[in-house]
Chains A and B, each alone.
Chain A
Amino acid sequence: MTVSALTRPGERDRLIVKLSQIDWTLCGAITVVAVAGGAMLYSVAGRAWSPWAAEHLIRFGGWFVLMIALACVDLRVWFAIAYPVYAVALVLLLAVAAHGHSSLGAQRWLNLGPIHQFQPSEVMKIGLVLALARFYHSVSAKSARLSWWLLVPAMLIGAPVALVMKQPDLGTALLIAAIGATMMILAGLSWRIIAGGALLLGVAAPLAIKFALKPYQLTRLLTFLNPAADRSGAGYHIMQSEIALGSGGLLGKGFGLGSQSQLNFLPEKQTDFMFASLAEEFGFVGAMAILLLYAAMIFMCLRIASIAHSHFGRLSAAGVTATLAFCVLMNAAMVTGLAPVVGVPMPLLSWGGTVMMSMMIGFGLVLAVRVHRYSEITSGKGSVL
C-alpha cells in the first residue's frame, strides 16, 4: 500500500486499512507480558491452571480481541463519549461509597451481577484520561497554562481522588492524582503552578501523614522507612519480597521453583507481588527483560501520542501511557523496597479482572489514536478558549 493510496479520501476508514495501521509491535509486547503473567500465575499456583492462570489468559484473549476492535473505533467517537464515561465512572464510585462490597477493611468493589468485585476506580482511570483530554482539546494554550479554567480539570481530578481515598485505597488515589497531574503538565501547565504545587505537597505531606492517614497507612509508611523493625508484622511484606528477589539471583531459581511464592512467604503473590515471583523464578535476567518490555511499551505509546494530529489524541494516548508508567514504576518500586507498600498491581502481569480491563481499554485507545492519528476533531468549542 502506497502513501498515495492512504491519502485518498475515505481510504483510512476501511477496516483493512485500519487494521494495517495498528501498532502490531506494541500488541506483541503486550501479549508477551500478559503471557508471561499467565505462566507465572500457573507457576505460583503450584503448576496449576486454576485458580488464576487459565482465567488470566482467557480474559486476556477476550480483551485482546476487544482491544483491536476498540483500536478501530473512530477517535471522534472516543471524543464524544469522553464525558459520559467519566460521569458513569463517577456514579459507580459514588455507588461504591454508598453500598459497596467491602473486603480486607476496604470498600472498593461492586458486585455487578455475574461480575463480582468490580472496581469502579479502574474505570475512572480511563474516564479521567478521556475527560481531561477532551477538556484540554477545547482549551487554548494560554488557558491551559494559567487561568481560572484550570479549576475544571482540578475538580475532574479531585472528585475521584477524594472518593477513592475514602474507600480507602491510597495507592489508587495517588495513582489517579498522578495521572491527572501528568496530563495537566503535558497540556502545558505553568511551571510556576507546578513549582507551587510541588512546594505545597512538600508542606502538606507531613501534615497529611500526621492527620489524614489511617493508622495502617502510617504503619506502612513507617515500615517502608525501616522494614527490619517488624519482621513478622507490617515489615513482613517488604522483607519477604526482597528475599524473593534477592534469592532469585542472576538467573533465578527456575520455573515453578520459587520457594518464596510456592510456600506462601510472599504475600499477595498473584496480584501485587507478581513481579517479585517472576524475579525469584527468572532472576535478574527475567526481571530486566520484563522491565525492558514495559519501557518499550511506554516509549511506543509516547511515540504514538506525539504523532497524533489532534490534541485529544495526543493527550489521551499520553494519559494512558502515564497510567501504564506509573503502575509499572510504583509496583516495581514497591516490590523492590523503594516505595511503601500500596496496592498497585503490575499491569498485564498481575491477576485481576478490572485492572486488565482498564489497561486493555487504555491500549485500545492508544492504538485508536495511532490508527486515527490524522483525524481532525472539530467538535466542541473549537480551540479558541
Chain B
Amino acid sequence: MNPQIYFNEVNERQGAFHRRAFLMAGVTGLGMMALSGRLAYLQMVEAPRYRNLSEHNQFDFRLQPPPRGLILDRNGVVLASNRPDFRLYVSRDEHTDVEELLDRLQKLVPLDDDHRRRLMDDINEAPRRAQVTVMEDLTWEEFSRINVRAPELPGVTADMGDIRVYPFSAAFAHVIGYVGKVARTDVSKEGPNADPILLNPGFRIGKAGLEKTYDLAMRGKPGARKVEVDVKGRVVSEEGGGDIPSTPGQELRLTLDADVQNRALEVFGEESGAAVMMDCRTGDLLCLFASPSFDANRFVKGLTGPEYRALAQYERKPLFNKALTATYPPGSTFKTMVALTALQHGIPASTVHVCNKAWFWGGRTWHCDEAHGALDMKGAIARSCDIYFYQLALQIGGPDPIAYTARQFGLQQIFDIGVPGQKPGLIPDTAYKRRAFPKDPVWHPGETPSMGIGQGYVNVNAMQLCVMCARLANGQRALQPRLVHAVGGVLQPSGAVVPDLPFDRQHIDFIREAMAAVVTSGTAAGAANLGLGPVMMAGKTGTAQARGYNGGIGAHGATGAWALRDHSWFIAFAPYDDPRYAMSVLVEHGGFGAQAAAPRAREIMRVALLKDPQVRARIEQPLPSAPEAPAAPPVTAPDAAPPSAPASNAAGTAT
C-alpha cells in the first residue's frame, strides 16, 4: 500500500468533511436566523394582535340575563317577580360521551328515562359547547352534590339564575300570561329577537298575555360576566373587573287590584266564567278574571305533555281567557241598549205592552218566563220581560238603530289593553246580513224580536259588557278600558280622556234608574243586595241561551247537562247614586242571571267598595259611635244589613 495514496485518501476524506461541515454550520446558522426572524415577527411586530387573541382565549364574557321587570297591581302588590333558581347545564365537546355523562349525573340527581331521552336529543341537537338545561330548581343538596363532583363531570355546570314567579299564580294567569322557554321559532335573524341572550338556556320570553305584549320592555338589557376559562370552556376563575352590568327590565304597573281579583277567584270556585270590573270615572280595570284558571308557574318551567293535555282537554277550558276571547249572547243585559235606542227614537218610557207569558206574532209563539201583565219600559227592564222587548224592538223598526247604540257603548269592539286574543263578537245589522248571508241577504222582521232580548246573532265578550255598563254608569263619556297604568314609570293614556256619548243624558239616566229597580224590586232583588247600608248597586241580569230549546221554556235555567245550560250574566255598577265601579260577570252555563252571576258580582263589588275610602266614609256615617271602625278588616266591617237572601229566591223571576 502506498503511504502517499493512504495520506491522500485520508486528506481527501478529511477535507471533504471539513468543507461540508462548514456548509452544515452555515445552513444551521441560516435556519437559526430564519427562526429568529420569525420569532421577532411574532413576538414583536404581531405581539399586540396575538395578545388580544390570547385574552380572547383566556377570558370569556358570559352573558348574564337581566332581571325581568316586575309586574305590580295598582297598590304596588307584586304580581310577577323573579326568584333565585339553581340550574344544571350540560355542554358537549368532541370528546364528550353523552351516555356516560348522563349515567354519572343520574347518580346525583333524579333523571327518569323519559327525561333522559329528551335530554339526549337536546344535547345531540345543540351546537358544540352550547349549554343545554338538564334540570331547574335543584335543591340545595343536589346543587352542592354536583358542585363537589364538578371535576369528574366535564361539561357540567351548576349555577344560580333568576326565574319568573307568579305569587298569585291562578288569579292573574290569563291577564299577565306567562313566560316560557325560547323556542327555535322565537329566535329571528334580526330585530330584538336576534339578541344572543335568547340562546341562554335559562332565558325566558313572554309567551302569553301582558308578558308577551310587553316582553321587550320587561326584558331589559343583558350584562356580561368576565370569566377566565380553560380550553374546554370551563370557568377557571371569575374576575371581578370587566363585568358589564345588566340593565333590569322595566316595571309594569297595572290598574288591577289584587284583592278584587283574588276575590273573583274565590267566588268563582269551580265555576266557569269571567268577571270584569272597571272604574267608571277613569276606565281603569280593577278586575279582569277568567275561570277556571291555571298555575302560570307551571308554564315557566315547561309543561309536560300530560299536564298540557289535562288543561287543554278539560271541558271548562282553563286555558281560554273567557273575559276577552270567548263571546256569548248577552241575553237580557242587552235590553238596556234596546231601551236606550227606543228612547232616542222618540218612543216614550211610558209605552205599555202586555205580557201573557206567550205572544203570537209572525206565525209563531214567542215565550216569556211568566205572565208579567201590563208593563211600562222601566218595569219591563226591572222584571226583564221578553215579550215587552220583542215588541219594543219591532217598534224601533229594525236592527240598525239598536246596533248603532250597542257599538257606541263598546260592543263589537276590541280594546287596546295589551292583552292579545280579544274576540269582537257580533252586533248584527242589515249590512251584516247582506255580507254574511249572500243567499239570504235580507233582514227579516222575524229576526228583530230575538235581537231585542240579546239573542239571535248578538254575541259579546265579558269585557265589552263591562265597558257598556261603565259607559251607562258614567252617563257621559265613552270610557276606554285601561289595564296598564305605567310602563317603567311612564304613565299610559287614561281611558277617561275620550269624547262624549252621542245620547241624551236623561235617557241614560232613565236606564240607570231602571237598573236600580232591577236590584231593588226586579229580577236581582235580594241576590244583588250589597248589604252596605246606603251604598246600593244597580244592575241587569241576563240569561243567555246556549242552544235552541226546540219549544218550551222547560229547559230554561240551570237544569240538564252542564254544557247545555244557559249562560248566567250580570252587569252592575255601584254606588247607584254616585257610580264608581262597573262590572260584568259571566257564569258559563250557570243558569239564571240572578242565580249564578249576580251573587258573585255582589261579592266582588263589595271588596272594591270597601277598599274605596270615600265609599267607606259613606257606609260608616250612620255609625258615629264607632270612629275606630276603619281599623277592622274590610269583610267583617260595617255590615249594616245581613247578606242578601240566597239566589234561588229570585230564580223564579229572573231572566
A314-356: CB near B (< 8 Å → 1, else 0) gives: 1100100110010001001100111000000000000000000
Q: Would B16 and A265 count as touching, CB distance under 8 A?
A: no
B622 beta carbon closer than 8 Å to chain A: no
Query: A162: CB under 8 A from chain B?
Result: no
Question: Do B21 and A264 touch (CB < 8 A)?
Answer: no
Interchain CB contact under 8 A, B24 and A295: no
**Of the candidates B9, B18, B28, which one forms a contact with A140 in the assembled complex, judged by CB atoms under 8 Å apart?**
B9
- Asked whether A336 lies within 8 Å of B21 as measured between CB atoms, the reply is no
| Contact A318–B24 (Cβ < 8 Å) | yes
* Residues of B contacting A299 in the complex (Cβ-Cβ under 8 angstroms): 25, 28
Taking Cβ atoms with an 8 Å cutoff, the residues of B that contact A are 1, 6, 9-10, 12-14, 16-18, 20-21, 24-25, 28-29, 31-32, 34-36, 38-40, 42-44, 46-47, 49-51, 53-55, 57-58, 228-232, 236
B53 near A247: Cβ-Cβ < 8 Å: yes
Q: Does A108 contact B (CB under 8 A)?
A: no
Smallest CB-CB separation from A314: which chain B residue?
B17
Interface centre among A244, A247, A314 (most CB of B within 10 A): A247
A215 → chain B, closest Cβ, in Å?
Answer: 17
Residue contact B17 to A333, C-beta cutoff 8 Å: no
Residues in A neighbouring B236, C-beta threshold 8 A? 263
30 contacts between A and B (CB under 8 A): A144-B13, A185-B20, A186-B24, A243-B50, A243-B57, A245-B39, A245-B43, A246-B49, A247-B47, A247-B50, A248-B47, A250-B47, A259-B54, A259-B58, A263-B229, A264-B231, A265-B57, A295-B28, A298-B28, A299-B25, A306-B18, A311-B13, A311-B14, A325-B24, A329-B32, A333-B31, A336-B42, A338-B34, A338-B38, A384-B1
**Chain A nearest Cβ from B79, distance in angstroms:** 46
Check B21–A318 contact: CB distance below 8 A.
yes
CA distance A144 to B231 in the complex (A): 53
Most chain A C-beta atoms within 10 Å of own C-beta, residue among B12, B42, B50, B53: B42
A36 interfacial by beta-carbon distance below 8 Å: no
Partner of B17, one of A259, A298, A315, A337: A315
- Chain A residues with Cβ below 8 Å from B17 are 186-188, 305-306, 311, 314-315, 318
Does A212 touch B at the CB level, under 8 Å?
Answer: no
A168 contact set on B, CB distance < 8 A: none
Nearest neighbor of A251 in chain B, beta-carbon distance: B43
User: A383 to nearest B CB, angstroms?
Assistant: 6
Selected from B6, B32, B42, B58, the residue in CB contact (under 8 A) with A246 is: B42
Determine how close the nearest CB of chain B comes to the CB of A373; give it in whole angstroms.
13
Q: Does chain B have a CB within 8 A of A288? A: yes
- Please tell me if the beta carbons of A383 and B6 are within 8 angstroms of each other in the complex: yes
Contact with B along A245-285 (1 / 0, CB 8 A): 11111100000000110011100000000000001000110
Residues of chain B with a CB closer than 8 A to A384's CB: 1, 6, 9
A333 touches B35 (CB 8 A): yes
Whether, in the assembled complex, A81 has its beta carbon less than 8 Å from a beta carbon of chain B, the answer is no
Q: A243-B54, A311-B14, A336-B39 are in contact. Are A186 and B9 (CB under 8 A)?
A: no
Contact A284 B57 (CB under 8 A): no
| A378 and B404 alpha carbons, distance in the complex (Å) | 129
Chain A minimum-CB-distance residue to B2: A384
The answer to whether A247 and B54 have CB atoms under 8 Å apart is yes
Residues of A contacting B21 in the complex (Cβ-Cβ under 8 angstroms): 186, 302, 305-306, 318
A182 sits at the interface (CB 8 A): yes
When C-beta atoms are compared, the residue in chain A nearest to B34 turns out to be: A338
- Least distance between A139 CB and chain B CB atoms (Å): 9
Give the complex CA separation of A140 and B53 in angstroms. 58
Minimal beta-carbon separation of B60 from chain A (angstroms): 11
User: Are B13 and A291 interface neighbours, CB within 8 A?
Assistant: no
**Smallest Cβ-Cβ distance to A284: which chain B residue:** B43
Residue of A249, A283, A288 with most chain B CB atoms under a 10 A cut-off: A249
Given contacts A240-B57, A247-B51, A263-B230, 12 further A-B contacts (CB under 8 A): A186-B16, A247-B53, A259-B54, A279-B39, A288-B39, A299-B28, A305-B21, A311-B14, A314-B17, A318-B24, A333-B31, A333-B35
Q: Say yes or no: is A23 at the interface (Cβ < 8 Å to chain B).
A: no
Question: With A and B bound together, what is the CA distance between A322 and B31 in angstroms?
Answer: 13
Determine the distance from Cα of A266 to Cα of B229 in the docked complex, in whole angstroms: 13
A243 surroundings in chain B (CB, below 8 A): 50, 53-54, 57
Q: From B25, B39, B53, give the contact of A302 (CB < 8 A).
A: B25
CB contact between B44 and one of A249, A291, A311, A332 (< 8 Å): that residue:
A249
Instruction: Give the interface size class of chain A.
Output: 35 or more
| Residues of chain B lying within 8 A (CB to CB) of residue A311 | 10, 13-14, 17
Q: Contact at B228–A336, with CB atoms within 8 Å?
A: no
Give the Cβ gap from B59 to chain A, nearest Cβ, in Å.
9
List chain B residues, Cβ under 8 A from A315: 17
A287 interface hit (Cβ, 8 Å): yes
A383 to chain B: which residues have CB within 8 Å? Answer: 6, 9-10
Q: Which residues of the partner chain A approach B46 to less than 8 Å between Cβ atoms?
A: 246
Q: Is A74 part of the binding interface, using a Cβ–Cβ cutoff of 8 Å?
A: no
| 7 closest Cβ pairs, A-B complex | A246-B50, A247-B54, A188-B16, A284-B43, A141-B12, A259-B58, A249-B47
Shortest A148–chain B CB gap in Å is: 19
State the CA gap A311–B232 with chains docked (Å).
54
Q: List the A side residues contacting B29 at CB < 8 Å.
A: 295
What's the least CB distance linking B25 to chain A, in Å?
Answer: 5
Which residues of chain A come closer than 8 Å to B228, judged between CB atoms?
259, 263
Q: Is A55 an interface residue (CB 8 A)?
A: no
* Known contacts A243-B57, A263-B229; A295/B1 CB under 8 A: no
Residue of B nearest to A311 (CB): B13
Contact (Cβ within 8 A) B35 A338: yes
Q: Contact check: which of A140, A260, A321, A322 meets B57 at CB < 8 Å?
A: A260
Q: Which residues of A contact B54 (CB under 8 A)?
A: 243-244, 246-247, 259-260
Q: A188-B13, A383-B9 are in contact. Are A287 and B43 (CB under 8 A)?
A: yes
CA distance A288 to B29 in the complex (A): 13
Chain B contacts of A321 at CB under 8 A? 24
| Cα separation A249 to B32 with both chains bound (whole Å) | 19
The docked-state distance in angstroms from the alpha carbon of A321 to that of B54 is 36
Task: Give chain A nearest CB distance to B554 CB in angstroms.
Answer: 78
Output the nearest chain A residue to B52 by Cβ-Cβ distance.
Answer: A247
Interchain nearest-CB distance for A223 vs B (Å)? 16
Does the CB pair B36–A288 fall under 8 Å? yes
The distance in angstroms between the C-alpha atoms of A322 and B23, with both chains bound, is: 12
Min CB gap A258→B, angstroms? 9
Complex CA gap A242/B46 in Å reads 10
Within the assembled complex, what's the spacing in Å between the Cα atoms of A338 and B29? Answer: 16
A291 with B57: CB separation less than 8 A: no
Chain B nearest CB, measured from A379 CB (Å): 16
Residues 16-60 of A at the B interface (beta carbon under 8 Å): none
Instruction: Give Cα distance in the complex from A123 to B390, angstroms.
Output: 114
Q: With A140-B9, A311-B14 as known contacts, state yes or no: A245 contacts B50, CB within 8 Å.
A: yes
Q: Smallest Cβ distance from B622 to chain A, in angstroms?
A: 80
**Nearest-CB residue, chain B, relative to A333:** B35
Contacts of B9 in A (CB 8 A): 140-141, 383-384
